Chain A
Amino acid sequence: MSVLIYAESAEGKFKKVALELASYAKKVADSLGTTVTAVTVNASDVSELGKYGVDKVLKVSSDKLNTFNAKAYADVIKQAAQKEGAKLVVLSSSTDSLYAAPAVAIGLNAGFASNVIALPESTAPFVVKRTGFSNKAFNFTEISSDVKVIALGKNSFGLVEASGAATAEDFAPSLNDADFSLKVEGVEKVSGKVTIADADVVVSGGRGMKGPENWGMLEDLAEVLGAALACSKPVSDVGWRSHEEHVGQTGKPVAANLYIAVGISGAIQHIAGVNSSKVKVVINTDPEAPFFKVADYGIVGDAFQVLPQLVEKLKEFKAKNA
């Protein structure tokens, strides 16, 4: 019956979400009295997965899969699930996994639930808790199909180490030409920077930053925290920052451990996209800014005075705690 996870890797190394999936799947598998199998693509050393509860790894190696391709990857995951007789397939909520997940579900005749944020409420019937309504409510979804596909929200479960070792097995799914009818012509990546999707800390600026020339302060803060940079929608609409960094309901979701919002009012559409972050810090001149209602720590103050001081203090803190 085993539980199958798709363990995402980049340049051969597992992403943190892969280890989180393993931790989650182990717990579900334990309650179902079964084991966890992971399918990996072009990952060489798979031993790390064992430490988070994976019993068996299906290793797929193929040059054709060097760049992500949703149709082909969905085919790989589907065939791995069929080979293992998996009744539950767990994917992450990364852009890539969410791209492939609906095709995996159709391929397996499975019901699919995304944005899952907790262990199943019950396994028979199979009910999971999900976020919905732009984080304004939770929705408990029952999946009634025989095979079930779910996507776990980032940072919703965390990492739980297990004592075990995974056995590895080469797996060669059959890929057909139709899987490759879309061609990737080019990839433009912002290199050397933490991406919003991977970051545990996100520093975000709004219209209160007054102009793109003032972003240096936020960059300094991001640098000392190892954070990714983000912005509110109007900031990217007017072109102060790229669309890439726009977070919120119509932008990217942020489920970081720490989200620092500077000069952002906290409009409902912004909050919707960042509310699943664990700890929120708000810096705003306006004590009535709605963001304070959902923040954990707030500073009523001018970003232009607070930021440089905060950067200095954090540098001192880092030096002491290094």
Chain B
Amino acid sequence: MKILVCISHVPDTTSKINFTNGDAEFDTNGVQFVINANDEYALTRAIWFKEKQGATVTVVNVGGADTEPTLRKALAIGADEAIRVNAVPTDGLFVAKQLAEVVKNGGYDLVLAGKESLDYNGGMVPGMLAAILGYDFINSCEGIEVDGTAVKAIRQIDGGKETISGKLPVVIGGQKGLVDEKDLRIPNMRGIMAARTKALTVLEPVGADVATKAVKFEKPAAKSACKMIAPDNLDELINLLHNEAKVI
């Protein structure tokens, strides 16, 4: 089985978010970038397939050269090879079109991605990728098994879960649950050394229209201070929730 894992290079969750250039651009100064958390679950699951059932795992990112350390980390965790499409991602559609090209040329059977990236939170790339390719798509996936070409997946739905069956090829929008938390891997020395010799191929992007563009950013207005209520004065809390906040 040929597995492609789409890796988004995102600010570490504790990063301070700032903007430059008249609030028109995200300020990457001092920001630590990591593998998007949802993609990490997908990557770990892919490596599980490789070890337990036999598969090759390729990771791909659409981004500038600055994203290579993130791809190297994915290689250190156990991916076999990496591809970087050399373009600064402009919008989800652009990224999906680049990824579709990689999937078509590489003949991947299983494409794993995170259900959303934790920076722009668009949640659009995996679904668009599947739609462009005409592949089936399973979103919010928290469990996947493959037997030959048969796929069984568990998808989170509002208020429960759903079991779905289908056939490869398929695109997965994955999340927590794809693997146990304790099975997430931290690159070890051996992995890091091995990653250095693994192939990281750089491809040039295909021309693609851009349909959306972030024109401006804004930070939320400063919050007014929290009203503190004494633990023995719960009537006051109920009063505030009823009369001031009007939520009960």
Contact = CB atoms under 8 A, between A and B. Distances in A.
A138 B212 contact: no
Contacts of B215: 127, 140-142
A94 interface: yes
B218 A107 contact: no
B163 A186 contact: yes
Interface in B208-239: 209-220, 223, 226-231, 234-235, 237-238
A134 to B, nearest CB: 6
Contact of A102 (B128, B177, B231, B234): B128
B15 to A, nearest CB: 9
A144 B163 CA distance: 38
B245 A279 contact: yes
Given A114-B124, A251-B176, A258-B248, A181 B136 contact: yes
Contact of B241 (A105, A138, A189, A297): A297
Interface in B57-112: 91-93, 96
A309 B234 contact: yes
Contact of B13 (A134, A144, A294, A314): A134
Interface in B109-161: 118-128, 130-132, 134, 136-140, 142, 152, 156-161
B126 to A, nearest CB: 7
A249 B38 CA distance: 10
A307 B214 CA distance: 44
Given A131-B121, A144-B213, A182 B164 contact: yes
A124 interface: no
Nearest to A321: B242
The secondary structure that dominates the A interface is mixed
Contacts of A309: 234
B151 to A, nearest CB: 9
Contacts of A319: none
A102 B124 contact: yes
A131 B245 CA distance: 23
Interface in B20-39: 26, 37-38
Nearest to B18: A137
Interface in A103-140: 103, 105-107, 110-115, 127, 129, 131-140
Contacts of B128: 102-103, 105-106, 112
B14 A250 contact: no
Nearest to A125: B215
A72 to B, nearest CB: 12
Interface string A86-114: 00000000111011111101110011111
Interface size class of B (residues with CB under 8 A): 35 or more
B118 A244 contact: no
A183 B237 contact: no
Nearest to B130: A103
A230 to B, nearest CB: 12
Contact of B137 (A70, A132, A302): A70
B189 interface: no
A182 B162 contact: no
Given A137-B19, A186-B162, A188-B160, A105 B93 contact: yes
A187 B111 CA distance: 24
Contacts of B156: 95, 243-244
B166 interface: yes
Interface string A220-247: 0000010000000000010000011010
A95 B37 CA distance: 19
Contacts of B118: 134, 249-250, 272
Nearest to A145: B211
B92 A112 contact: yes
Given A140-B218, A182-B165, A296 B92 contact: no
Given A102-B128, A181-B167, A313-B234, A133 B161 contact: no
A187 B157 contact: yes
B17 interface: yes
5 contacts: A144-B212, A200-B247, A250-B176, A272-B118, A317-B242
Interface of A: 68, 70-71, 74, 94-96, 98-103, 105-107, 110-115, 127, 129, 131-145, 178, 181-190, 193, 195-198, 200-201, 225, 237, 243-244, 246, 249-251, 257-258, 268-269, 272, 278-279, 281-282, 292-302, 305-306, 309-310, 313-314, 317, 321
Task: Give 8 nearest A-B pairs by CB, closest first.
Answer: A102-B127, A111-B211, A301-B231, A195-B159, A189-B160, A106-B131, A197-B158, A258-B247
